[in-house]
Amino acid sequence: MINIGLLGLGVVGTGVVEILEERQREISLLVGEEINIKKVLVKNVNKKRDVSLKQNTIVSNFEEILNDDEITIVIEVTSDIDKSYEYIKAALNKGKSVVTANKALVSKYFEELSSLADEKGVSFLYEASVGGGIPIIKPLKEEIILNEITDVQGILNGTCNYILTRMFNEGLDYSEVLTNAQELGYAEMNPAADVEGDDTLRKLRILGSLSLQGKVGEEDIILEGINKITSFDVRQIKLMQSTVKLIGEVMELDDGYNALVLPTIVKNNSYFASVNMAYNAVIFKGDNIGELKFYGSGAGKLPTGDAVLRDVLDIALGYNRKANPLGDKTLKNNNSEFKSKFYLRISDSTEKIVKSLEDISEKVLSTKENIAILTREIELKKIMDTISSLGIEKDEYFIARILD
Amino acid sequence: MINIGLLGLGVVGTGVVEILEERQREISLLVGEEINIKKVLVKNVNKKRDVSLKQNTIVSNFEEILNDDEITIVIEVTSDIDKSYEYIKAALNKGKSVVTANKALVSKYFEELSSLADEKGVSFLYEASVGGGIPIIKPLKEEIILNEITDVQGILNGTCNYILTRMFNEGLDYSEVLTNAQELGYAEMNPAADVEGDDTLRKLRILGSLSLQGKVGEEDIILEGINKITSFDVRQIKLMQSTVKLIGEVMELDDGYNALVLPTIVKNNSYFASVNMAYNAVIFKGDNIGELKFYGSGAGKLPTGDAVLRDVLDIALGYNRKANPLGDKTLKNNNSEFKSKFYLRISDSTEKIVKSLEDISEKVLSTKENIAILTREIELKKIMDTISSLGIEKDEYFIARILD
């Protein structure tokens, strides 16, 4: 019997327990023994839970899992960063393998925890931390052996994609859809980490670092969220037979790389435009494999639980592919040279601003109430410098990259 | 050192040799030892080849590979079925693992060869046999442990997709594109297996059998190719803001399943419509993971070579997940009940035929020169019965399923 210590019994934890129970027969047949949730760490042991666990499984003290030598795999599915980091470090140091779905934690600590796992000869796996149920971390780890990966990009946040899809399909306002999404549980009560792009940025850092085989830090990524998009923008962009997605991308450029999370305008008949509601998608390019695209549920109890269990099965089967797949290349960030065509809207239409944008415009879409332009191919930095020199505040403009 | 015996040095074989050489450093670091092509079996030992091999690697007699105990893995990348089947069986019996990209062979023999590998405790892997470079067989094998798979579908033949894409994008005739594709090497001089759908059918049989965990035979699949599509059809379907793809699908239905390879009409803004030229795509649905979609190069030297080497690496690393992932469920084929809306064109416009179709029509698109209708939701069998009762020959009609 393989014994698991589970940290957290929220949405994902419940999914893990449910799938394990439902698929016990198939799993035992594959692994050759049963996989058993031996202990579950929760904050509130008295809370009634809608999940079937054996008696005396719930514990409130991590030491009970750490010091249980029969527990060889720890699954961490909390949303806490600091305490989980301590728990995971302690577990790895004790020679236990760790599987986590905690993207903020992975983004913050994955180099350190990957080396520690390597040193201890155990696994630290985090398939569920990017793209929910989509198999993406494992295929990427496989392809980096056989390819130079030159580009990775994705729709990585289900909440943003849900909001954008409904704004474009139903012509609703941003705040209207957000409120509705919060009621339906698709968005948190404090949605900042999603709509301002931080969650996408963290996942992109994980994908980018694996792809380029060197550290792409959170601070190395240009960031604009979707929270400033208005119905005016939606109408303008619809006229371009296009839609908007929040896309994160890390790409090789010259002797370095660009890394960015930006609202991105894509044609209605493009691949990314076919990714709607809470779904996620990831594309990467290798010099041998060419372009690979992956699509699936970006979150949710069962898809994420499924991804966690794929990692658990790999550990149970002894498929401990090189614990630390991270390279040690030193990368040069070329973000200041990042060039594209952009859509820019400024909530103002004074003559002075219209004039100041002439130099970067290729096409003026509107000068009434809002100024909206399509820029020529130009460095993003130049646009941001222009915006800042005009004294335009952060909430008075919306910018989106145009992807051909 | 891990020694390989390579059967065949055509396009895919050359790709394998090239990638192995280029990525030797990364591979050795991962596996802990070198992977070496020790012997290559070819038909013509004197042919000049554009690939760098060590001296005395080329052999013309399979026995030299079979009886070389240092060779532990055989890679089969020929297009031959019968001889390769004998070679693979002999290699497995000798305790060698086998990796193949040969879809016709896998389709014909994979149950038998999978059991034999299981019995001998070695691997029989065939990632490259479906979808070229796309990681699809391995993710599917992983998900069948954690899910009931209820549906698998895909664009599985690059030649067909190339022809259809160019017909729709450039308004060219079928024969014009086919000739051009043959000149460019995208289509064989005898294109029957591609354009008549047999290649798609073979790959679907592999995916379907894995998904449903029971045998879906070649004879269990309804088959229509793309070879009868005309510019007239293209014009009609474009007016529907749609395009045509050759899609294979196996899906659970009631107490059994449907299996079909049919030209399929998909909306221009759908996922499948975004899969163009020689690219392939596969979608499958599980009760826990939800819908997963995979896209990549359906063929080609390097993508297919990459897929072959992923299997080789799994064997080298000892990731011999249950050699035989095939289930032994007895499945009930419900093809005679398969229902959908269809586009039907008949190269005739006599009053009698127009009248006879009234019962199945929902909308008549044309009655001049060609009769073209959209049917109501109806059993495919009923349409085929009508066609046959009207004495319409195989090359006088084109039918396509309409996917919502």
The pLDDT tens digits of the residues spanning B205-248 come to: 999 999 999 999 999 999 999 999 999 999 999 999 999 999 99
Q: Mutate one of A306, A322, A324, A329 to test the B interface: name it (highest B CB count within 10 A).
A: A306
B291-306 tens-digit pLDDT: 999 999 999 999 999 9
CB burial of residue B381 (10 Å; 0-12, 13-18, 19+): middle
Retrieve residue B223's tokens. 């088959």
In DSSP terms, which residues pair with B333 in a beta bridge?
B257
Q: What are phi and psi of A401, to 5 degrees?
A: -75, 145
User: Between B332 and B255, whose confidence is greater?
Assistant: B332
A78 is in an annotated binding site: no
A96-135 tens-digit pLDDT: 999 999 999 999 999 999 999 999 999 999 999 999 999 9
CB burial of residue A135 (10 Å; 0-12, 13-18, 19+): buried
Distance from CA of A401 to the nearest CA of B (A): 21
Partners of residue B309 in chain A, C-beta under 8 Å = 146
Alpha-carbon gap, residue B15 to B297, rounded angstroms: 14
To the question of domain A338-402 being in CATH 3.30.70.980, the answer is: yes
3-state secondary structure of B397: strand
Q: Mutate one of B30, B146, B272 to test the A interface: name it (highest A CB count within 10 A).
A: B146
- In whole angstroms, what separates CA A49 from the centre of its chain? 28
A10 is in an annotated binding site: yes
Which band of pLDDT confidence, cut at 50, 70 and 90, is reported for residue B46? confident
Q: What are the start-end ranges of the E strands in A254-396? A: 256-267, 279-286, 290-297, 339-346, 361-366, 371-375, 378-379
Which band of pLDDT confidence, cut at 50, 70 and 90, is reported for residue B321? low
Query: Which residue among A38, A39, A203, A285 is the active-site one?
Result: A203
Q: What are phi and psi of B98, to 5 degrees?
A: -130, 135
Average pLDDT, chain B: 95
In DSSP terms, which residues pair with A399 in a beta bridge?
A344
Alpha-carbon gap, residue A298 to A326, rounded angstroms: 24
| C-alpha distance from residue A110 to each of A104, A118, A134, A215, A261 (Å) | 10, 12, 19, 10, 20
Distance from CA of B27 to the nearest CA of A (A): 6
For residues B249 and B153, is the Cβ–Cβ distance under 8 A?
yes
CB burial of residue B49 (10 Å; 0-12, 13-18, 19+): middle
| C-alpha distance from residue A388 to each of A206, A356, B124 (Å) | 31, 12, 61
Q: What are the start-end ranges of the E strands in A129-273? A: 149-155, 222-223, 242-253, 256-267
In DSSP terms, which residues pair with A37 in a beta bridge?
A4
Q: pLDDT at position B312, please?
A: 98
Nearest to A13 by CA among A38, A42, A36: A42
3-state secondary structure of B174: helix
Which band of pLDDT confidence, cut at 50, 70 and 90, is reported for residue A56? confident
B165-191 tens-digit pLDDT: 999 999 999 999 999 999 988 899 999
Instruction: Count Cβ–Cβ pairs < 8 Å, chain A vs chain B.
Output: 146
A369 is in an annotated binding site: no
Q: pLDDT at position B51, please?
A: 87
Average pLDDT, chain A: 95
**Taking CB atoms and an 8 Å limit, are B269 and A271 in contact across chains?**
no
For B137-297, which CATH superfamily applies? Dihydrodipicolinate Reductase; domain 2 (3.30.360.10)
CATH class of B2-134+305-316: alpha beta
Residue reference for tokens 């401990």 = A320
Percent of chain B with pLDDT over 90: 90
Q: pLDDT at position B186, please?
A: 86
A179 is in an annotated binding site: no
Start-end of CATH 3.30.70.980 domains in chain B: 338-402
Q: Which residue of B has its CA nearest to A15?
A: B288
| Packing angle, helices B198-212 and B137-146, rounded to 10 | 30
Q: pLDDT at position A323, please?
A: 55
Start-end of CATH 3.40.50.720 domains in chain A: 2-134+305-316
Alpha-carbon gap, residue A181 to A267, rounded angstroms: 25
B13-23 tens-digit pLDDT: 999 999 999 99
Q: Is the pLDDT of residue A322 over 80?
A: no
- Amino acid, res. B161: N
Residue reference for tokens 């149920």 = A133
For residues B78 and B105, is the Cβ–Cβ distance under 8 A?
no
**Taking CB atoms and an 8 Å limit, are B306 and A286 in contact across chains?**
yes
- In whole angstroms, what separates CA A115 from the centre of its chain? 22
How many residues are listed for chain B in this entry? 404
Which band of pLDDT confidence, cut at 50, 70 and 90, is reported for residue B322? low
- Amino acid, res. B210: L
From the list A30, A270, A290, which residue is nearest B133 (CB)? A290
Partners of residue A317 in chain B, C-beta under 8 Å = 319, 321
For residues B247 and B340, is the Cβ–Cβ distance under 8 A?
no
Q: pLDDT at position A326, please?
A: 85
Partners of residue A143 in chain B, C-beta under 8 Å = 306
Q: pLDDT at position B48, please?
A: 85
CA dihedral A229, A232, A234, A240 (to 10 degrees): -130
Q: pLDDT at position A254, please?
A: 83
A253 is in an annotated binding site: no
Q: pLDDT at position B47, please?
A: 87
Q: pLDDT at position A264, please?
A: 98
Our answer to whether residue A83 is catalytic in this structure is: no
| C-alpha distance from residue B213 to each of A34, A368, B139, B140, B216 (Å) | 21, 62, 15, 11, 9
**Taking CB atoms and an 8 Å limit, are B269 and A274 in contact across chains?**
yes
CA dihedral B376, B381, B383, B388 (to 10 degrees): -170
**Taking CB atoms and an 8 Å limit, are B293 and A289 in contact across chains?**
no
Query: Which residue among B203, B228, B245, B285 is the active-site one?
Result: B203
For range A214-228, the mean pLDDT: 97
Partners of residue B168 in chain A, C-beta under 8 Å = none
Distance from CA of A290 to the nearest CA of B (A): 7
Retrieve residue A10's tokens. 């929220």
Q: Is the pLDDT of residue B3 over 70?
A: yes
The DSSP-derived string for B312-342 is HHHHHTT----S-----B---B-GGG-EEEE
